[in-house]
Structure 1
Amino acid sequence: MKGSHSEESKETMSKVRRHLDSIVTFLNPLLPLANCHMVEFFTQNHWETLIPGNLKSSLDALSLNDAVNYFWSLAKGQYINDHSELGKWIEEAKSNCVTVNNEYCISAEQLHTHIQSLGGDIKPEIKVKEFMNNKKSYEVQTMSRLVASLYEACSASCCVEAGGGRGHLPVALTLGYGIPSLTIDCDEKTLTSAAERIKIIQKQWHAIAKKIKDGQEEKMSKESNRNLHRFATAYVTRHTDLRAIVKEKFPEMEQEDVKLLLTGLHTCGNLGPASLRIFTSQPSTAAVFNVPCCYHLLAKDIDSGLCYVFQKGCVKRWLLEAISQFLCPI
């Protein structure tokens, strides 16, 4: 969410920059390993060519099961001051992790406090027990609450889900929290199927959804606006005019000064960075809540600049753009 500028935010930005520089330096030599696919360990002999020599020799001395158990013991901190090659490698990797509670990476509880400081209330969770597997149900239950709370805090008019596919997240946002939501995806067939599926969910909503309040499950109201979740077919890039698409799909907002909350659950490849760039460049996007995935699907050619991910700081630049706009007004 876009906020006010201050000396404190400048210092935070400086710390973020230094941290990202350190991570980039650590990751650069490991890019071939990060970019490979598992099958290539066999087809291209990556074990011999990509694993650092000292680390490979150390692991070669162990059986597979011993190496796996040793790795997890070290990762869990069960061995103190372990000076093995694997131990040193794990400690170096840990030192480059972006951990919680380091001033710019906050915990869920701290996020709650921040949303409340912006004037938003933390909404109760909505649990949907049908039409989703357990993993997706948990993700929607956890994320929809925070998105709905942030939506109120930033006084948004509509929530836009980038690359939503089947529209799992907006189901809870529209039926559970009454938030107008637009799912955008490039696959028209997927969206057509999703729209039909959501009609079925709407009819059964009061039976399959529960509100969780103070640790107790409560029945949802049978009354809900079934016309709040809409769909649009588009390929989302940094140049996509979300405001125009929202006004097309929600004609009742045509005369409004629309403010958007841009969100996405598992935004694959370039969709995550594109969402951050939309947030930094389009004033109508008041906030962004993005859970990205699929690093290996990031395009190596960015905006025709032939900018190789990490090597020329693209990821660092994306993050800095987003963070700077979070801390400073456009």
Structure 2
Amino acid sequence: MKSSSCSLTEIQQRIDEVTRFLSITLNIANAHTVEFYTHDVWKRFMAVSPEDVLSAVGSGNHQQREPQHRQSEQPSTTFGFCNDTKRLVDTQELVQAAKEHSLPSLGLCMSRENLLQDLRDMKSESGTPEETVAAFESDEFMTSKKSHEVQSMSEVVACLAQHCGVNQVIDVGSGKGYLSSFLSLQYALRVYGIDSSSTNTHGAQERNRKLKKFSKAYQKHTKAARTQAEATHSPQEELIERKTGLNGDEDVFSGNGPRIRSQEEERVLTSSSDINPTVEGRSEQNLETDELFLSALSVDVIQPASPRVPPSQLSAEERERRKRENLERKAQSRADSAGAVFSPLTSYVTAETELRDLINELEDAVMVGLHTCGNLAPSTLRMFVAKPELAAVCSVGCCYHLLSEEFDHAGQKCLQSVCGFPLSQYLRDQSCFCGRNARMSACLALERVALGQGIQMESLFYRAVLHVILRDHYSSYKSEKRVGNVYSKAKSFVDYVRRALRRLELDESKLSDSDIQDYHNTYRVRMDEMHAFNMLKVTLAPCIEGLILLDRLCYLKEQEDVSFSALVQLFDPLLSPRCYAVIGLKNDGKRTTS
């Protein structure tokens, strides 16, 4: 395996560049939108107009445009902020600096294609069979977004397993089991999906059962179509004959004459109802799904059976033979069940969790996590480093706002327990701090917002003006009380405020409808300020996310036992904004099974 192109020293240098940039700009990301008007956030941080910000952020070419607000007498700036007043005076400079300090511009990320090429010297024939794709692209099983994520990540995980010579995968935070099921069905890996929710693990088990039936039936249909290409009747024609027996009164046909359904046939036919439970009164879309599944009922699935003979008319030898065959089928069924390659487990895991206590059959394995929330992503990396049985890791985190931080804004320890950020010793030595609002901003999707998707400005505006009303009329209001999702139910701003006051258990009779509407009208003319400010947050999002991910990469680089580590873009950011994976491999000599 080739070593990563970036060294620990290079990563530390990039971290220094990003932390310097964020030391000037992080106050914008940490300003709470709820307090936008009550704390007059725009005047505190901005010396430019909202139009200037929106123009700069919306411009596709920041380098060719001249700064609109740089005057000859203007004091010196750092990343567009005045060194004296600490307010933004040059939006173009800020936007350009943000672009330069985002992950794609730092030159530290590895492409998925280069990673796969490094993991295998030449492209193997491990494509994705159409039967597995068909099952996972079915709307019943997952969305197109999830299908994209699962297929992209599973190929990388399978290559990691092959490179390390292991056959087990531990999927931490496995959720509904999509990735686990795909890895087991497509790559025949032994996957243990661990999730703290019993609802998720039970649902994953049932979903995997259906997927296995769908995939097996589809594979048999594909095989039958190939082997019977020269037959008189095409598989489709034979399917029509057999479907008569599925929903009509006639017997199922196979070959030239009628017959009675075998036990195996009854089992397969029954399994179709697990995927589409009802038979009559289907919509056109459901019928299409039925056609896909029913097309899997090929001659390979439906085995010929002899006409049923009453047991009293059977010879002793025939009764003994059938008894023996039934016992063999039951034994094979138990063996197939025991050999299931996906095992959902319910457990809350931390870096201190002993995997062998959860998995008795544990061998060397690859640990993975697809969109593991908050502290679970750094805990996955800590487990990888601490457990000798873990040969590799592939971790895609999300929900940065749920990370716990070891230090506060003053650099003092605020939590004594193991925290999610910072992870690396390098940033811990600097007492690095982000802040919850900044970590929340890191979850914003720049690529989606650039295409007009993402921020719902009106709901943010409603909430900010509501807090002005609370400040002016309800001094007894306690900030720990939550308004919740009132906006989606409200028909107007007046309705929104009244619903919110009731939710907060405040006296709404203090205000008339006209009083409430006056607040809306007063601040409506300043809504562009909020829009522009939030667009700056979106612009800074990749830089904050970059610092969090560089911290994780730096942590792996600090470990002597880790022979390879990289940040890899696995997904299309338009489909999946949290698109980066932290990947690590251990030295073969440092990995032992005990």
Give, in whole Å, the separation in 2 of the partners of 1:278 and 1:120: 31
Map Cα deviations across residues 191-225 of structure 1 (whole Å, 9 max, x no partner).
Answer: 1122122212221124679xxxxxxxxx99x9999
Match of 2:179 among 153, 166, 169: 169
- The aligned residue for residue 83 of structure 1 is 67
**Number of residue pairs matched by the alignment:** 294
Give, in whole Å, the separation in 1 of the partners of 2:42 and 2:351: 34
1:111 counterpart = 2:115: yes
Residue 294 (structure 1) shift: 1.0
Output aligned runs, 1:238-253, within 5 Å: 238-247=351-360, 253=361
Q: Contact 1:300/1:307 (CA < 8 Å) preserved in 2?
A: yes
- The aligned residue for residue 81 of structure 2 is none
Match of 2:417 among 279, 304, 312: 304
SS at match of 2:7: helix
Gaps of 5+ in 1: 210-218, 248-252
Give, in whole Å, the separation in 2 of the partners of 1:285 and 1:61: 53
Give, in whole Å, the separation in 2 of the partners of 1:160 and 1:145: 15
Output aligned runs, 1:220-231, within 5 Å: 227-231=340-344
Residue 289 (structure 1) shift: 0.8
SS at match of 1:166: coil
Letter in structure 2 aligned against 1:108 = R
Residue 243 (structure 1) shift: 4.1
Give, in whole Å, the separation in 2 of the partners of 1:282 and 1:124: 31
- The aligned residue for residue 513 of structure 2 is none
Output aligned runs, 1:307-326, within 5 Å: 309=422, 312-313=431-432, 315=548, 318-324=552-558, 325-326=562-563
SS at match of 1:189: helix
Farther-moved stretch of structure 1 (132-141 vs 185-194): 185-194
Map Cα deviations across residues 208-265 of structure 1 (whole Å, 9 max, x no partner).
Answer: 79xxxxxxxxx99x99997100011121211122244232xxxxx36xxx11101111
Residue 68 (structure 1) shift: 4.5
Residue 81 (structure 1) shift: 4.5
Q: Contact 1:151/1:261 (CA < 8 Å) preserved in 2?
A: yes
1:276 counterpart = 2:372: no
- The aligned residue for residue 41 of structure 2 is 49
Give, in whole Å, the separation in 2 of the partners of 1:24 and 1:47: 26
Match of 1:291 among 393, 396, 408: 396
Match of 2:58 among 50, 54, 72: 72
Give, in whole Å, the separation in 2 of the partners of 1:282 and 1:51: 52
Letter in structure 1 aligned against 2:211 = I
Letter in structure 2 aligned against 1:22 = E
- The aligned residue for residue 212 of structure 1 is none
- The aligned residue for residue 129 of structure 1 is 137
Give, in whole Å, the separation in 2 of the partners of 1:172 and 1:306: 32
Q: Contact 1:162/1:264 (CA < 8 Å) preserved in 2?
A: yes
Give, in whole Å, the separation in 2 of the partners of 1:146 and 1:306: 28
Map Cα deviations across residues 102-124 of structure 1 (whole Å, 9 max, x no partner).
Answer: 3x42111211111114x994731
- The aligned residue for residue 210 of structure 2 is 200
Q: Contact 2:62/2:92 (CA < 8 Å) preserved in 1?
A: no
Residue 29 (structure 1) shift: 4.9
Give, in whole Å, the separation in 2 of the partners of 1:232 and 1:267: 16
Letter in structure 2 aligned against 1:227 = A
Letter in structure 2 aligned against 1:319 = L
Q: Contact 2:190/2:341 (CA < 8 Å) preserved in 1?
A: yes
Q: Contact 2:177/2:204 (CA < 8 Å) preserved in 1?
A: yes
Match of 2:50 among 60, 70, 80: 60
Q: Contact 2:36/2:42 (CA < 8 Å) preserved in 1?
A: no
Gaps of 5+ in 2: 69-89, 220-294, 302-335, 407-414, 434-547, 565-585
- For the aligned residue pairs, the C-alpha RMSD in angstroms reads 3.6
Residue 96 (structure 1) shift: 1.3
Give, in whole Å, the separation in 1 of the partners of 2:48 and 2:390: 51
Give, in whole Å, the separation in 1 of the partners of 2:95 and 2:105: 18
Farther-moved stretch of structure 1 (235-244 vs 12-21): 235-244
Q: 1:27 to 1:206 in 2, by over 3 A?
A: farther
TM-score (norm 1): 0.75
- The aligned residue for residue 216 of structure 1 is none
Q: 1:47 to 1:171 in 2, by over 3 A?
A: farther
Q: 1:52 to 1:94 in 2, by over 3 A?
A: farther
Q: 1:61 to 1:34 in 2, by over 3 A?
A: closer
SS at match of 2:61: coil
- The aligned residue for residue 215 of structure 1 is none
Residue 171 (structure 1) shift: 1.2
Seq. identity, %: 26
Residue 270 (structure 1) shift: 0.5
